[in-house]
Structure formats: C-alpha cells, structure tokens
A = this chain, B = another copy of it.
Amino acid sequence: MSKRILVVGGVAGGASAATRLRRLDESAEIIIFEKGPHVSFSNCSLPFYLSGIVEDMESLVLMDPETFKAQYNIEVRVNNEVIKINRSKKTILVKDLSTGREYEEHYDKLVLSPGASPIRPNSIEGIYNQNVFTVRDVVDIDNLKTYIKEKSIKDVAVIGGGFIGLEVAENLRLAGMNISLIEALDQVMAPFDYDMVQILHKEIMDHGIDLILSDGVKKIGKDYVELQSGKIVKAEALVMAIGVRPETKLAEEAGLEIGETGGIKVDRNYRTSDKDIYAVGDAIEVYNRLTKKPTRLALAGPAQRQARAAADHIYNIPVRNNGVIGSSVIKLFALNAACTGLNEKQAKAAGIIYDYVYIIPQDKVGLMPNSSPMHFKLLFEVPTGRILGAQAIGRGNVDKRIDVIATLIMMNGTLEDLKELELCYAPMFGTARDVVNHAAMVGLNILNGVFKQVPVTKVRDLVENNAHIIDVREKYEYEAGHLINAVNIPLSQLRQRVDEIPTDRPVYLHCRSSQRSYNAIMALQHMGFDNLYNISGSFLGISYYEYFNDHVTGRNKILTEYNFK
C-alpha cells in the first residue's frame, strides 16, 4: 500500500523534502501544507527586491502549486495552516485560511518544516504599528516595498545587524532611502569577530548609513524611533530584523521534544521524538561539529540537506549526519564577507584552546585589474593545528577561500594540510601562494612558536603605554601615515641599524601587511633578539580596526593617517 506523507511548510526544507520523496516513491501520496500564499520562493533573495536588483516580485516565487502537481505529482495546499497534530490518530488538523474551514488529514509520515519567525518584542512600544515590517516571505517584502512607495518614504530604520538587517539596509540604501541601522550589540554580523567586523562597519558608514551600535529600540512613533539611550532617530518605516524564533508551537503542543536551544529536537536522521514525524530546517536543533553542542542554524543549505536526509530515512536509505559548521557569505556594497566554523567568541565559549592568524594579502596578482587586499582570519586548535574556522572580507572572492576552509574543516584538516593544498592559480584569480596557503604558513609559525604576535585590538594600549613599536616600511610609506611614537626602521636598513633596537623591553614590529615585519623578526631573532612581537594585521589592519570607532566616538587617533590600500 502506498504511503501518505504530509509536509508542513513549503519553502526550502518542505519543498526539498517533498520532491526528494517523490523521486524515492512514485506511488506515495505527498501533500505540502503552506500557510502562506506561496511555496518554494527564494527567501534569501527577498531583500534584493527592495533595490530592484530583483525587478519582478513574481520571479521570487520559484514554483507554483500547478507546477508541483504537473511535474512532481505533489499536491500543494497554500493558505492552509496546520494547527494541530494528533499523534495517536496520526492526523493533522488543517485550517483553510481562505474559507476558515478546518479539516483533518491522515498521515503515515509527517515532515515538519515550519521555519522560524522574525522576533517582535512586545516590550517595544508601537511594535505592531502599521509602519513596522519584518522580512520573512514574499508578502512581507511586497508590503514593505509598497508602503515605502505609496507613502514616498525617505527615512527607514532597520533594527538588527545580522544577514537580513544588512541586506535590507543595503538594498533600501541602493534604492535611495536614508537608513539608520540599529544594533543592540557592539557590532553587526555576530559570526565575525570584533576585529574583522570593523571593516564592515567602515563600509556601512562609507555608504552613508547611520550605524548605531549598542543601542536598542524603546518606542516606535509615526515618523521616529526612540532608542534605549534616549536618542531619537528619524524613521517613517521600520524593519525588525533582530533575529528569528523557531516555529515550534505545533510540535510543542503535540508533545514532541524541544531541545535546549529551543529548536525541535531531532535524532541523527532528523526524526523527532515521534518515530513517524520528521523535522527539518530553521525550526530544529542541530549538532555543531566543532563545539560538539546543540545549536540552531537558519540557513538554506543545511535545510535542504536535512530535507533530503529525512526523505531518505523514510525510505530506509542510510543518512550521514556530519553535524553543522555554519558557513555563510554576504555582499555588503563593494565588499564581500564570508565565514565558516568558529570565531574567537565561539571558540572561547566552547572552551576550545585555539590560536589564530590575521593576514591581509592581495586576493590576486597585484598587476591584475581589481586586485585588492583580502582580510583573512584563520582559527586553529592548539596544539593540534586542526582548522576551526575562518573569516574573510574583501572586494574579491572571499567565498572561494571560505569554501576551501569549510571543506578542510569537514575533512578534519590541519594547518599542515592547508599549507600544502594545491589550488588553481592564474594571475586573474589569485596568487601562486593563495591567501589560504599563506594563512596556513603563518599559522604554523604561530603554532610552532617561530615568532610571537599581538592582535590589532591591543595596539591602542601599546601606543598609549609608549611601547617600543618599529615600523619597518619604507620612509615614504611611514610618512604617509604611521602610529604615533612608532620608530621607522625600514627593512631595507634594518641590518645596518640593529643597534637602534632595544633589548631591555619588548619590541613590536609592523609593516603594511606583516610580510616585511615577519622577515625583520626572523632576521633579528637569528641575531639574538628574543623579545619581539609582530603586530598581526600590521598598519593596514590597524587602520581598519581603528577607523570606525575613531570616527564614531571622536576619540584620539593613535595614528597620524589611515591607510586602506
């Protein structure tokens, strides 16, 4: 007898599960229930409709119910919300939202892919005003765009500096709005460390967005927002993008187990605590391969993989579950920013002993058009050298480098493996020693104690405490901008000026991007100097790290001029 499989939710996870199920069983009866009016839309593309990069709202919807029926013999019931699961009877209660009618459907297997909903804190006064929007589906984005257009709105506040917040802010900015981006933490994009994220802060600021950190919304008015700090921000419309909450109500009410992170608990086969009910996507709790702890991950790629795995398991096909590492990428104006695995905050929280490198090599051969510096941070476990994570920001192909690291993490690779990777090279695409190879070499030096480093985050302290800093760039570079109090001894004069280097206290060296300071340190160490530190990221890294906060706080600069090239 053929199986009857019902799927709750028709976006990434639900649609993928259903089509995979069809390929595994031509005779199964498969029905998708979607409470919204659309199935299988590109939720990741929604923000691009605001700027017109995606011109046509219809194009956001990838498949309609008719196509599902015709191509896959899958029935899709949009505007039908599943409101209850009766596990003992193996039925669901469905509400047809267009008629209000409620009806039951029997299942042999049930797949839950309800997703996650944008958080709207009730504590904010005016949170349900008509000028407050969230971005979850095609209807949401259409409402927002229509409202902006009809009311000729110029000032928009975007609350939350995560993926959706940034993409919405950018696309509205591209459409000519004045944007205030308000984030409760001291940085946007939590997957990036505080040092790396300053590069994004600069980009946001450089594009005329008013970036407000460490502040939250208290009250939403008709044409303004009042922040916790008391600050008033002009805003005729507001987009809430502070995060999402997994849609677990249905599962919870059915008595399915909920995990410690608040997502639906599933086993390695994406089966809930009921053997006939599976759950996938943003609503579930997954296993982090690196921290070895449960987590949640609202990303389309993992959702699709989980959906396929759940479908496979229903048909007794063995499933591999490698856990998640969390790989993501975002375009932000002229920059691309990608990351994978753990950042410093996460590694610390997980109690993992780690170290890191921060390098800024060119993303392709310097002679080539559009060659530009790539900021690259790599974390590795101590003492094993196992790769833990990476963050990359630049104008070039950061995603390429992060995908290589993600692959290595999944394969339990180490710095030694990364150093030896034989990647494809031509001057238009990279350098003979790619960014990632380079990072591994520096990482091995750090891991093996070949030289010591201090992070860019500590440079202000060094300068303020009159540490002995040597800038080994050429004089003309030094004169164009340098750390206050830094001594200039170009690498090209170093060997003649060794007696100028003190031996009675720590000496900190930097150049533009640490290539020359590394060579300087190696030479000096061979001469017997043993209290030397390389400033990780060097002057380029320092410039980026200091810039945003200098401008926002008006604090004293620790350098005479920035250098971003």
A residues within 8 Å of B by Cβ? 12, 19, 22-27, 42, 44-45, 48, 53-54, 59-60, 67, 70-73, 163, 299-305, 320, 322, 324-331, 336, 338-340, 365, 367-369, 397, 399-400, 402-404, 406-408, 410-411, 413, 416-417, 420-430, 432-434, 437, 491-493, 495, 516, 518-519, 522-523, 526-527
Q: When A and B form their complex, which 7 residue pairs have the shortest distance between CB atoms, in order from nearest? A: A26-B526, A70-B492, A300-B432, A400-B400, A329-B424, A411-B411, A327-B424
Q: Besides A44-B365, A322-B420, 14 other CB < 8 A contacts?
A: A24-B522, A42-B365, A44-B427, A54-B367, A73-B523, A301-B425, A301-B437, A329-B429, A338-B429, A399-B430, A403-B403, A407-B423, A410-B421, A411-B411
Please judge, given known A-B contacts A320-B420, A432-B12, whether A426 and B71 are in contact too, CB under 8 Å. no
Contacts of A406 in B (CB 8 A): 421-424
CA distance A328 to B424 in the complex (A): 4
Question: Is there contact, CB below 8 Å, between A399 and B399?
Answer: no
Instruction: Tell me the complex Cα distance, A67–B516, Å.
Output: 12
For residue A84, give the distance in angstroms from its CB to the closest CB of chain B.
30
Q: Do the beta carbons of B327 and A425 come within 8 Å of each other?
A: yes
A410 vs B423: C-alpha distance when bound (angstroms): 10
CB distance from A74 to the nearest CB of B (A): 11
CA distance A301 to B432 in the complex (A): 4
Which residues of chain B have C-beta atoms less than 8 A from A340's C-beta? Answer: 422, 424
Contact B429 A48 (CB under 8 A): no
Partner among B22, B70, B338, B408 whose Cβ is within 8 Å of the Cβ of A411: B408
Q: Is the CB of B416 within 8 A of A320?
A: yes
Are B71 and A516 in contact, CB atoms less than 8 angstroms apart? yes
Report whether B365 and A71 are in contact in the complex, using a CB–CB cutoff of 8 Å. Answer: no
From A405, which residue of chain B is reached at the shortest CB distance?
A: B407
Tell me, rounded to whole Å, the shortest Cβ–Cβ distance linking A140 to chain B. Answer: 17
B residues less than 8 Å from A491 (CB atoms) = 70-71
Once the chains are docked, how many angstroms separate the CA of A469 from the CA of B299? 39
For the complex, what is the distance from the CA of A365 to the CA of B60, rounded to whole Å? 10
A516 to B70, CA, bound (A): 12
Closest to A299 in B: B425
Given that A324-B422, A338-B424 are known contacts, is A492 also in contact with B411, CB under 8 Å in the complex?
A: no
CA distance A59 to B366 in the complex (A): 9
- When distances are taken between beta carbons in the complex, the residues of chain B under 8 Å from A45 are 365, 367-368, 427
CA of A237 to CA of B67, assembled, Å: 58
- Say which residue of B368, B399, B410, B425 sits within 8 Å of A400 (CB atoms): B399
Chain B residues whose CB sits within 8 angstroms of the CB of A522 once the complex forms = 22-24, 26
Chain B: minimal CB distance from A342 (Å): 13
Q: Whole-angstrom distance between the alpha carbons of A23 and B441 in the complex? A: 13
Residue of A53, A59, A421 with most chain B CB atoms under a 10 A cut-off: A421
Contact of A331 among B71, B400, B428 (CB under 8 A): B428
In whole Å, how far is A436's beta carbon from the nearest beta carbon of chain B?
8
Select A423's contact among B54, B301, B416, B430, beta carbons within 8 Å.
Answer: B301
Q: Supply 21 A–B pairs (Cβ within 8 Å), ascending by A.
A: A23-B518, A23-B519, A23-B522, A44-B425, A48-B367, A54-B368, A70-B493, A73-B523, A301-B423, A304-B433, A329-B425, A331-B428, A397-B399, A397-B400, A399-B400, A403-B424, A406-B424, A407-B421, A410-B417, A410-B420, A410-B422
Whether B305 pairs with A420 at a CB distance below 8 angstroms is yes
| Minimal beta-carbon separation of A245 from chain B (angstroms) | 22
Contact at A328–B425, with CB atoms within 8 Å? yes
A525 to chain B minimum Cβ distance, whole angstroms, is: 8
CB–CB B402/A403 < 8 A = no
Given contacts A403-B400, A420-B410, contact A329 B492 (CB under 8 A): no
A519 touches B339 (CB 8 A): no
Q: Which residues of B contact A519 (CB under 8 A)?
A: 19, 22-23, 71-72
Minimum distance in angstroms from A104 CB to a CB of chain B = 28
Cβ contact within 8 Å between B53 and A422: no
The answer to whether A369 and B327 touch (CB under 8 A), given A320-B416, A430-B399, is no
A289 to chain B, nearest CB (A): 9
Q: Hey, which chain B residues are within 8 Å of A523, CB to CB?
A: 22-23, 26, 73
Name which of A340, A413, A424, A493 has the most chain B CB atoms within 10 A of its CB. A424
Q: A73 to B44: give the CA distance in the assembly, Å.
A: 54
Looking at the assembled complex, report how far the CB atom of A527 sits from the nearest CB atom of chain B, in whole angstroms.
6
Distance of A455 from chain B, by nearest CB (Å)? 23
B424 in contact with A399 (CB, 8 Å): yes
Complex Cα spacing A420 to B440, Å: 24
Closest Cβ–Cβ distance, residue A300 to chain B (whole Å): 4
Closest beta carbon of chain B to A190's beta carbon, Å: 15
Inter-chain CA distance A236–B403, complex, in Å, is: 47
Q: What chain B residues lie within 8 Å of A526 (beta carbons)?
A: 25-27
List, in ascending order, chain B residues with CB within 8 A of A422's CB. Answer: 301-302, 305, 322, 324-327, 340, 406, 410
Min CB distance, A24 to chain B, in Å?
A: 8
